[in-house]
Chains A and B, each alone.
Chain A
Amino acid sequence: MAEERRQKLCSVILPTESMKAMAESVGVGSLQEDSCLALSEEVSYRIKEIAQDALKFMHHGKRRKLTTGDIDHALKLKNVEPLYGFQSQEFIPFRFASGGGRELHFYEEKEVDLSDIINTPLPRVPLDVSLKAHWLSIDGVQPAIPENPPPVPKEQQKTDSTEPLKAVKPGQEEEGSIQTKGQGASSAEVKGKEKMRMKPRSTHELSVEQQLYYKEITEACVGSCEAKRAVCVCVCSQGPKLKEFCLALFIRCNIMNSKYTTKHLLFPLIPAVVTCIVSKQLCLRPDVDNHWALRDFAARLMAQSCKTFSTTTNNIQSRITKTFTKALLDDKTQWTTRYGCIAGLAELGHDVIKTLIIPRLSVEGARIKAVMDGPVVSNIDKIGADHVQSLLLVSTSQQHKVGTNLCRAAGIFDAPAYINVIHYSSNHFEKYSILFFFRSSFKICSIFPKIGRRDLWTEPHRND
């Protein structure tokens, strides 16, 4: 910073030593200090002048990078012979040597074995310039094709996938909605307008996918594969709660089978899978049937598809994450859906668990507690809460051995305390102790000495 400032304010001048070295290299032995100074000032000025002209060539060449060619052209402009044949692969082609009180910069000229050069295969001929056309926009809407950049800029994708909580934090959302209610009318209008403009987007974007979908379905129906046909029938007759499990199996088979590209089918299928994960009710008797297994399975499937197919263009993973987080944050979400969301998120990997589930633990714990201890609860709720609790335990246990150890050792599941332990253990030991103090949770307190200090400091394992 300081250097930049200085550069702006006063002119930088080459050191006089370089002048001396330069003079010696052309055979002028003793150069007066004054002449050196005068020379260096003059040379510095001329170099700046040439640099300024070279910049001009860069701008007109529509580049952001100054090239040696620009400098050559700038020299030519001043009627100075350009530097012929100057080429270097390296950024700074000089080497430095010192000894006997002398400092020297020189070109390094390596010895080259000619036979090496002769024997190396010829480099590939560079491709010729070619012209390619694509649609940057159709009726004002940018189509999502590989030629166009992803609809959401990379930075946004990053923040979306790492902290979807930020976008839809419950507290903020409520406050925000109250605040914006006043402006609601106008913003709704604006939104309405935007929607009107967006309209063509949905039509043409969907149509491409749906066309593919129909194509695949038709192909499957008339094709030779019997299983595919069966599943197609299944897909087509898909009532919302029909044969989800069968469908999920089918999808998994397809994804597993690398020969058969499911890429085209992905978009129509994802909603079905998501339904399997988060649907409120998947079977007739939710209290008896084991729909939890289907949810687990579908969540795993989802995670796998994300791993296989998520790209910066379709951005599946962050979209899915968003969906789950949103549902999870909603207070009115059913236990079944809640379970699905957590399962879905948990399957997505450690980072997701760490950033999305763990911060939620305290809230979820409180909720579970309320259900367990609450006076009037339906059986379904109880079962749901129970499942969520065990799921949370399992998923976070992989992450935080410390925390689980704590809980296991204590033999309890005091969610809030547990969460806070996890939360703070990785950050500050001090905080932990304070917390621990305030909590005055004697059970934890009693097991505390059993846990080595090192354990408390251990960062969550990422790579296991």
Chain B
Amino acid sequence: MAAVQDGQMELDAEKETKPEILSDGTSNLSGNTASGTLSSSPLTAAPAGGAPKMEDQQTLIAVLQFLKRNKLTDSVEILRREAGLGEDQEDSQATDGSGGGKGDVDGGDANSLLSRVSITSAAAPQSMPVKRADDQPDVSVVLSAYSQQGDPSLYQVYYSGLKNFIESVLDCHRAELSQLFYPLFVHMYLELVYNNHENEAKAFFEKFSGDQECYYQDDLRVLCGLTKKEHLKGNEVLLDFRTSRFVLRISRDSYQLLKRHLQERHNNQIWNIIQEHLYIDIFDGMPRSKSQIDSMSGSLAGEGRRELNKAKVFHGLLKEPEIEVPLDDEDDEAENEEGKPKKKKTKKDSLGSKSKKQDPNAPQQNRIPLPELKDSDKLDKIMYMKESTKRIRLGPENLPSICFYTLLNAYQGLTAVDFTDDSSLLAGGFADSTVRVWSVTPKKLRKVKSAADLNMIDKESDDVLERIMDEKTASESKILYGHSGPVYGVSFSPDRNYLLSSSEDGTVRLWSLLTFTCLVGYKGHNYPVWDTQFSPFGYYFVSGGHDRVARLWATDHYQPLRIFAGHLADVTCTCTRFHPNSNYVATGSTDRTIRLWDVLNGNCVRIFTGHKGPIHSLAFSPNGKFLASGSTDGRVLLWDIGHGLMIGELKGHTDTIYSLKFSRDGEILASGSMDNTVRLWNSMKAFDEVETDDFTATTGHIHLPDNSQELLLGTYHSKSTPVTHLHFTRRNLLLAAGAYNSQ
């Protein structure tokens, strides 16, 4: 097997990619969280056996080497003392320097999470590194991965030789082996550039760039700008290529064919690239067809590794807390006792409902500590139950009504919208750094009275909550000032007391909707924060930004509790989403992958590839089993979280999809796009039609039915208003929002 552990460590990216874990002892700071916050360190939580220990040491040694090289002797001393490493230990490691040491260096790099998962899952025994041009476990050496070189003039010959070979093999193998073209092309080009063969590189690019798949166009455009070694420094796309291996999935037969060919031809150059920069995931069985490959490819770093998607994901829903539905005017007193279970029963058969029984796929109730319910939360839950009994059952014959909220005169540019769960408030983030909150019900927005006035009121009175509000401040909308850059994400807390906003200025701000002031500014992302979202249970929230990581925060902590690192490009807008059970976070990225992260230990448990453009929207189905994602290529893809499979493709939009939402029962998927349309899809049918038998589950090879047109239930055009946000009310009325674009 050609799998070599990726031993590169990117120091420039260390700040961003190193998973930092902050365990904290202050678990009871907030009254909300009697059960404490996430505090267990993921390193101890991950049952990785001896591996982490070993990895740690290797990482330390690598860091020491780096420090030494840069003459930071004091730091070396301190680190050595603190880590308890002897000088001999380090040296022996350096000198014996075989592959074993090498391969483990990756503990600290961007792939550490991946490798840890792969060790944990132990699904595929990876052979330890086979060979290496240089055996120093030294970071700086690793940086110059392209140091070895062949004759630059022969690169074209090598490449076209391989091309001829692949084009001459049997059809069934050709599709699979064609996957090699793009990564080889990129690496050969970069090698030429790295070794200062500018003219050869240009000629190489010109000759073969036309052969690449059209969905790599964007990357090729970046590549063609790179013609100098100096450019390689600090270019993100390149870092991605060099720090992570391009993953290919090839059947054993095809692989043998390739290997034999390369050995016969003594084509070492290509063989070296395959060994060093590609990760070939070999499977037994039938080679995949062109369409199967196409549906999965397109991401920046190839397909997701198969074994990574094997980890168990608890996608079930948490048990609903027992809340006594109080006797009220709606139910007769006698009926109430029977009425309650009946209500539950009617809810149970609907897809999105929370069943009374514990779902076998559900995580433990206290897998991550959740805030305790306050009285007001309970009231809200009761309201929710009442509303849900009046919910409309949607289906192909019963399409939802859509109410469109148009923001007029938004010349400054609307960048983000959110609705509260009960659909009473709407928040908009604008490019002029403001956040505006509207009340979409007749109830106006009021501030709390000033401290002096609050002293005057009678605290014992029943309507104290009403009395604290200042009638004079009542208005339909409020503006929140505080950010110093466009606001790219807004999210309401489930209890409607707080609002989060994330901005270009690198901060996430928490606003109080009682005083309409900023409470906290969370600084951590040093770059634009593209999105933020509250957990469905409140208290936690997640943010993702240009620094390629998603962070999990708790509202009462200044620093993130978890950092989810692994994406190779920005974590995009409206693309960090909590699983309905709050145990997982899904993030979409410009690297055209979707990752699912475990909140408990920070591991990446799923990687979904298949999009051909940056992902700009994500939505979980209400039952937690499925995920929908939309991207700039105008396609919506549907994923089965449990099996880690793509199960559907919905084509129809002609522009970026900025918003996706499942109806409350999960029967309809609504998608809103830049092409000024809202489309409704029959998600039930899409999910039902895919039979995930054992074979597809194990191999991951799927045949996607091309039935977008059958699944499309409706297309609704707006008048040049891109659809920024979609929201289903508790009664399944669809609310859409966007800013009218007068041009």
Contact = CB atoms under 8 A, between A and B. Distances in A.
B209 interface: yes
B225 A45 contact: yes
A126 B412 CA distance: 11
A63 interface: yes
Nearest to A151: B717
A59 B616 contact: yes
Nearest to B237: A52
Contacts of A139: 398-401
Interface in B505-539: 527-528, 530
B404 A64 contact: no
A11 interface: yes
A135 B401 contact: yes
B722 A8 contact: no
Interface residues of B, number: 74
B716 interface: yes
B722 A132 contact: no
Interface stretch (B6-14, B228-236, B268-276, B687-695): B228-236
Contacts of B488: 60-61
Contacts of B235: 49
B368 interface: no
Interface stretch (A140-148, A223-231, A252-260, A375-383): A140-148
A138 interface: yes
A420 B294 CA distance: 56
B408 interface: yes
B408 A132 contact: yes
Contacts of A133: 403-406, 440
A389 to B, nearest CB: 46
Contacts of A197: 397
A10 B413 contact: no
Contact of B407 (A48, A131, A138, A196): A131
Contacts of B718: 136, 148-149
Contacts of A132: 405-406, 408
Contacts of B717: 142, 148-149, 153
Interface in A367-390: none
A52 B406 CA distance: 31
Contact of B724 (A52, A62, A131): A62
A42 interface: yes
Contacts of A69: 431, 486
B423 to A, nearest CB: 11
Contacts of A129: 407-410, 412, 428, 430, 436
A454 B221 CA distance: 57
B316 interface: no
Contact of B477 (A48, A131, A136): A131
Nearest to B678: A136
A11 B222 CA distance: 10
Q: Which of A10, A196, A197 has the most CB of B within 10 A?
A: A10
A78 to B, nearest CB: 9
Given A42-B230, A52-B222, A61-B431, A134 B404 contact: yes
Contact of B486 (A41, A61, A137): A61
Nearest to B717: A149
Contacts of A8: 209, 217, 220-221, 224
A77 to B, nearest CB: 6
Q: Which of A57, A61, A137, A197 has the most CB of B within 10 A?
A: A137
A56 interface: yes
Interface string B535-576: 000000000001000000000000000000000001011000
B491 to A, nearest CB: 16
Interface in A307-336: none
A127 interface: yes
Contact of A135 (B206, B404, B410, B412): B404
B719 A131 contact: no
Interface string A82-114: 000000000000000000000000000000000
B603 interface: no
B426 interface: yes
B180 interface: no
B226 A45 contact: yes
B156 interface: no
Contacts of B528: 57, 60, 73, 77
A10 B426 CA distance: 47
A9 interface: yes
B716 A137 contact: yes
Interface in B417-440: 426, 428, 430-431, 436, 438, 440
A30 interface: no
B428 to A, nearest CB: 8
Contact of B415 (A11, A61, A140): A61
A10 B409 contact: no
B318 interface: no
Given A10-B224, A11-B227, A136-B716, A131 B202 contact: no
A56 B570 contact: yes
A202 interface: no
Contact of A41 (B227, B438, B527, B572): B227
B658 interface: yes
Given A69-B431, A137-B402, A62 B210 contact: no
Interface string B80-113: 0000000000000000000000000000000000
B632 interface: yes
B137 interface: no
Contacts of B428: 129
B658 to A, nearest CB: 6
A137 B222 contact: no
B656 to A, nearest CB: 7
Interface string B221-254: 1101111101100010000000000000000000
B713 to A, nearest CB: 7
A288 B205 CA distance: 85
A130 interface: yes
B614 interface: yes
A60 B406 contact: no
Nearest to A200: B399
A134 B713 contact: no
Interface in A197-220: 197
A102 B152 CA distance: 42
Contacts of B438: 131
B409 A60 contact: no
A9 B436 contact: no
A148 B719 contact: yes
Interface in B472-520: 477, 485-486, 488, 504
A63 B416 CA distance: 12
Contact of B408 (A11, A130, A140): A130
Given A138-B401, A149-B718, A126 B228 contact: no
A9 B205 contact: yes
Contacts of A77: 527-528, 546
Contacts of A49: 225, 235
A175 interface: no
Interface of A: 8-11, 41-42, 44-45, 48-49, 52, 56-57, 59-64, 69, 73, 77, 126-140, 142, 147-149, 153, 196-197
6 smallest CB-CB distances across A and B, nearest first, come from A140-B399, A136-B402, A136-B404, A137-B402, A127-B409, A48-B225
19 contacts: A8-B209, A8-B224, A9-B210, A11-B225, A60-B530, A61-B413, A62-B415, A62-B674, A62-B722, A126-B411, A129-B409, A131-B405, A131-B408, A132-B408, A133-B403, A135-B404, A136-B404, A137-B402, A142-B716
Given A44-B225, A132-B408, 14 more contacts: A8-B221, A9-B209, A48-B225, A57-B504, A59-B616, A60-B486, A60-B528, A60-B530, A127-B408, A130-B409, A131-B438, A137-B402, A139-B399, A148-B718
Interface of B: 202, 205-206, 209-210, 217, 220-222, 224-228, 230-231, 235, 397-415, 426, 428, 430-431, 436, 438, 440, 477, 485-486, 488, 504, 527-528, 530, 546, 570, 572-573, 590, 614, 616, 632, 656, 658, 674, 678, 680, 713-714, 716-719, 722, 724, 734, 736
